[in-house]
Amino acid sequence: MKSLQGSGASGGVAIGTLKFYRHDRQLVSRRRVEDVQAELERFQTAQAAAIDQLGKLYEKALTQVGEQGAQIFEIHQMMLEDDDYCDSIRSIIERQSVNAEYAVAITGENFAKMFSDMDDDYMQGRAADVKDISERLLRVLEGEQSDAIDADQPVIVAADDLAPSETVQLDKSKILAFATAGGSVNSHTAILARTMGIPAIIGLGPEFQAELYDGKTAAIDGATGQLYIEPDKETQAALLEKQAKLAERKRLLTQLKGLPGETQDGQRILTYANIGNPSDLGAVLANDAEGIGLFRSEFLYLESQDYPSENEQFQAYKSVAETMAGKRVIFRTLDIGADKQVDYFHLPKEENPAMGMRAIRICLTRQEIFHTQLRALYRASAYGRVAIMFPMIASVWEIQEVKKIAAQVRAELTASGVPFDEHVELGIMIETPAAAVLSNQLAKEVDFFSIGTNDLTQYTTAVDRQNQDLGRFYDPHHPAVLELIRLTVENAHRNGIWAGICGELGADLSLTETFLAFGVDELSVAPASVLPLREKIRSLNQSNRQAILDRYLEVR
């Protein structure tokens, strides 16, 4: 047995096979071949296999997301049969006497660049499609499976780290847990694990690699950050016992279903859930969340090969609103940029992307994208209690411009006779120090605040939350962060609006009493954290609120 120590990112115990996620390859080698005809036949066989894979994906998607969502696989099938694309691959093999992998990689690069350089937005969007079909062909040629997780049974997904665009495309039914060499507790891998309610360990170090551990049996303890390779019987028995106790604890928490998040002296606080996909709704309902405090709409963009249409977005938002049956659902508008990159957006490379073109800045710069999303959201509001939240607001003029665009959308829908709720709440995320300091002025423009503590901590302490080497400097409990939260809530109430927290700090039970003393109205957390949070709230007595605030001020 070998033990590796990382950082616990999501609690729980899992025992299973380690499967390392295969990232897109960075380099394809060029080698000379003697039998050109055999190489052409290799390409032709791979082409047929890739088309067959796409056909199966189309049938699967048809049942899950409907005709529109499945259409991309039909398009990719046609592109794989395109004469120009295939002739280029054959020509490179024949003229240069090289391997099919090299011919596919070069053709993919050339065609993707050709599309990217075009002036037409639609044609530019085809660049990502060419990359995708070329990658699929390369996987087939190299004997890899089409799925990033090649397993019949659920496994522990291992990687050096996972990008948001990779995590959202994983088959969640095949995942027991996550284990990564790098990353941070605020990475999207960790957030996804907490949303799914499965164990996760990050920061296992450079020794954790596929060459050494892929396919081996492992056990992980998401609370302690301990990973055991080929654990002995005693270790397995201890972890299974811990797993059983956690299951019993979870069972006892279910007794809180249907009960309000209310302190012993009657202070009421809403317990909501954060999700990123309609598929997470089952966890929301199973954990009795009173609403959805954060629906990360950017995951619709991360999962797509091109900009999702108004109707595709409408169907997703509508299904969430309908399923929540009148409970509030807060949709955060597109938060692309920084660590969440999407190829077809063609965002420029930036020295400091966390400070650059992201979130509301993209929406106000590319208003056609924003306009489409707002139309879909307002249309969905006719089917449930929808609220719309705008991320990365730092100035009053930004929210004023956002409200003008929203008013234009409402006027368009009214003129077209399209039904929508005319009383949709509009709110903003408080995730920059500027927004917190200006919260008194911003509160006059909106219906609610939701404090994004992950970015608020990052920007307040000037620490990159994705940088694992800065872990001990990234301090969500920093007095300045807590003071900005307190100021934001105070200014919200001064102006008659409500304020919640939707960042990871909302699930930190050591701060629940402090947040209640601040007067926070709502806490939105991963679905699995809803009932533990509600239990904590119901154990508290806020009749001594002033003493709690005085204690906070002394510590500060």
Residues annotated as catalytic are 188, 502
Give the count of alpha carbons within 13 A of 415, CB side only. 7
Compute the distance between CA of residue 19 and CA of residue 85 in angstroms, rounded to an integer: 34
Q: In a 3-state reduction of DSSP, which class is residue 151?
A: coil
The answer to whether the beta carbons of residues 431 and 392 sit under 8 Å apart is yes
For residue 474, give the nearest of 483, 464, 484, 482 by alpha carbon.
464
The answer to whether the beta carbons of residues 107 and 89 sit under 8 Å apart is yes
**Exposed e or buried b per residue across 331-342, where buried means at least 16 C-beta atoms within 10 angstroms of its C-beta:** bbbbbbbbebbb
- As a residue count, the chain comes to 556
Distance of CA 32 to the CA centre of its chain: 43
For residue 199, give the nearest of 217, 170, 219, 177 by alpha carbon.
177
In sequence order, what are the beta bridge partners of 221?
13, 226
The CA distances from residue 520 to 165, 272, 552, in Å, are 33, 13, 15
Give the count of alpha carbons within 13 A of 226, CB side only. 14
DSSP string of 347-406, one letter each residue:
PPP-SSGGGSS-THHHHHHSHHHHHHHHHHHHHHGGGS-EEEEE-S--SHHHHHHHHHHH
For residue 511, give the nearest of 531, 489, 533, 490 by alpha carbon.
533
The answer to whether the beta carbons of residues 246 and 222 sit under 8 Å apart is no
Cβ within 8 Å of residue 349, ≥6 positions away: none
Residue 119: exposure state from Cβ atoms within 10 A (0-12, 13-18, ≥19):
exposed
For residue 125, give the nearest of 58, 165, 75 by alpha carbon.
75
Neighbour count for residue 444 (Cβ, 10 Å):
13
Compute the distance between CA of residue 180 and CA of residue 204 in angstroms, rounded to an integer: 6
Our CA angle for 346, 313, 409, nearest 5°, is 90
What is the torsional sign of CA 513, 519, 525, 529? positive
